[in-house]
Structure 1
Amino acid sequence: MELQEAQQETVTLNNGVTMPLLGLGTFRLRGPENLIQAVDAALECGYRSFDTAFVYRNEGDLGHALHQLLPKYGLSRSDIFITSKLSPADLGPGACDACLKSLTELGCEYLDLYLIHWPGKQGWRSDDARNQMARDESWKALENLYHTGKVKALGVSNYTEAHLAQLLESCSVPPAVLQVECHPRLQQTVLVGWCKQNGVHLQAYSSLGCGDLLRDEEVCKVANIHGRTSSQVLLRWALQQGVGVIPKASTPTRIKENFQVWDFKLSHEEAEMLKGDGTEKRYCWDPSGVA
């Protein structure tokens, strides 16, 4: 099969690792057949990055799908970028074992990126002061895995500026990536600025506002101007700022659609239009109350 030439752009992380700016998110994508269909379509049109997590309960199926399909496209493990995340239940003493379990599930010798998924431990109150100690303990364990080569880059998800500042005070390996909800209605201006100042790559999840923004009037207007879909416009908005995206999709048509975002550009006026009335809206979890 002739493979379409990938037009994927990349970012060089603060430790020199190269990461694709656009990846396939797999949240709520479960079952062997669904993973095979999605991974097959993604590899065919040029995706080289796949985002999963222990709590998604699909690491095993994703690993099997990649193992089965990479040879079909003349690819090997080194050609793709795999991200997984530490479960909030394993924050603290269980961090090392949890990462090794994810490696086993995925059938990999290493992860390209491993994130702490949430700044608080499952079962603890958000204001429990032990959350910071659990984060610090987890990070030390992940630094050890990083130094042994089991993980090529480390990062965090759903951290606030305060969480990040605490981490920088104690870590020896700084985070390379921050993954947070980010879209035109939640622009995360403070975090974007913090990341630029501290050399951390910001990667967005829920770029489509959990699907709600696909029907937004302003988004549809900009999409019509370019003859594009709403999802393409929302993804392009992030990519133009150097923000990575990992849109979840399951059908081959939508997977391909989400990858076709490199050949148009939004004007400043169009980007402003996407903000709507400027009111921020969060569709997912708010970590600001976690101690």
Structure 2
Amino acid sequence: MINVKLNNGVEMPILGLGIYKITDKKELYNAVKWAVESGYRKFDTAQFYDNEKELGEAIKNSALKREEVFITTKIWNTNQGYKKATESFEESLKKLNMDYVDLLLIHWPGQKKERYLETWKALENIYKNKKARAIGVSNFEIKHLNDIFENSSVPPAVNQIERHPNLNQYELIEFCKNKNMFVEAWSPLGRGKFIENETLKEIAKKYNKTASQIILRWNIENKIVVIPKSVKKERIEENINIFDFKLDGEDIKKIDSMNNNERTGFNPLEFDF
């Protein structure tokens, strides 16, 4: 597994398992078990996913020590603000049955600047108290990020955003890179919509890979961290089997050209709560 080094020196695996809304205990346990056996060491949860407790138990039941895994969770929208964010994070730690997380993110910015800045102050305090090894944001656009940078003592290390061939987000990615932040792609496979895409299937044939593997590799060659979700053993194994080939420049251009700014989730510039 390849690691990337965050702006505070913490190392994070470039690929992990997303567990969005997997609430069935056995399903999650098996997904984590197969992921660990396949070489995954990064797991991405959130307060909103309602499975922090189950993830904590699955990690505890694995053969791995706490320091061998990289755990991300996120502050949900209804828990924003300094006090609520702080209290809800303590709840997250209890559910995970852990003393710290490796990465803590604000899940969405919303449209109230004062609210996400207050939440960021809570994250800074959590970080300074060593209960999160790194802090960052999710779904933040350039204007939100500028607010954070102008009002923070700890710069965000990561911005987790929707990114896939129909939404390549290069302008935002370039901004983040210039600010020494890593971009992490949620829904990198577009919730399965690209599996039968003819362009990707054609590229995949050339490398003897699948369309999903091509998309994940396209992200990694752009130094984008990926967290594909799956509960199927063969898919979990397939998604990590992407470190034995490289895409050539022409194929990267073909995938780039698929961009049409089509989202599967909310537009952060419009979504509020």
Please give the range of the TM-score, normalised by the shorter of the 2 chains: over 0.9
Corresponding residue for residue 235 of structure 1: 216
Return 38-47 or 180-189, whichever deviates more.
180-189
The correspondence for 1:97, drawn from 87, 91, 116, is 87
In structure 2, the CA distance between the partners of 1:265 and 1:32, relative to structure 1 (3 Å rule), is same
Equivalent residue, structure 1, for 2:237: 256
How far is 1:225 from its partner? 1.2
Residue of structure 2 equivalent to 1:188: 169
Give per-residue Cα distances to partners, 1:73-102, cap 9 Å, x unaligned. Answer: xx2000010000000010113000111111
Give the Cα–Cα distance (whole angstroms) in 2 for the partners of residues 277 and 57 of structure 1.
34
Question: 2:264 pairs with 274, 283, 289, which one?
Answer: 283
TM norm structure 1: 0.91
**1:215 positional shift:** 1.6
Question: Structure 1 residue aligned with 2:27, among 34, 39, 45?
Answer: 34
Task: From the superposition, tell whether residues 21 and 91 of structure 1 become closer, same or farther in structure 2 (CA, over 3 Å).
Answer: same
Q: What's 2:67 paired with?
A: 78
TM superposition shift of 1:278: 4.2
Question: Which residue identity is paired with 2:68?
Answer: D
| 1:264 partner letter | F
Which residue of the partner structure matches residue 110 of structure 1?
100
- Extract unaligned runs of 5+ from structure 2: none
Identity of aligned residues (%): 41
**What amino acid is the match of 1:180?**
I
Instruction: Report how many aligned residue pairs link the two structures.
Output: 271
Structure 1, residues 176-232: CA drift from partner, whole Å, max 9, x if none?
000001122211111111111110000001111111111211111111111111110
Per mean C-alpha deviation after superposition, the further-off stretch among 26-35 and 254-263 is 26-35
2:191 matches 1:210? yes
CA distance in 2, matches of 1:100, 1:255: 30
Counterpart CA distance in 1 for 2:120 and 2:243 is 35
Whether 1:62 and 2:55 are equivalent positions in the alignment is: yes
The answer to whether 1:265 aligns with 2:254 is: no
Deviation at 1:29, TM superposition (A): 1.4
1:22 aligns with 2:15: yes
Match of 1:224 in 2: 205
Give, in angstroms, the shift of residue 275 of structure 1: 3.3
Match of 1:51 among 44, 66, 69: 44
Structure 1 regions of 5+ residues with no counterpart? Answer: 1-7, 121-125
Find the aligned partners of 1:98 and 1:208 in 2 and give their Cα distance. 30
Deviations 1:7-40 (A, max 9, x none): x101000011000000000002122101110011
Q: C-alpha separation between the residues in 2 aligned to 1:185 and 1:238?
A: 13
Check the 8 A contact 2:166/2:258 in 1, yes or no. no
CA distance in 1, matches of 2:60, 2:4: 25
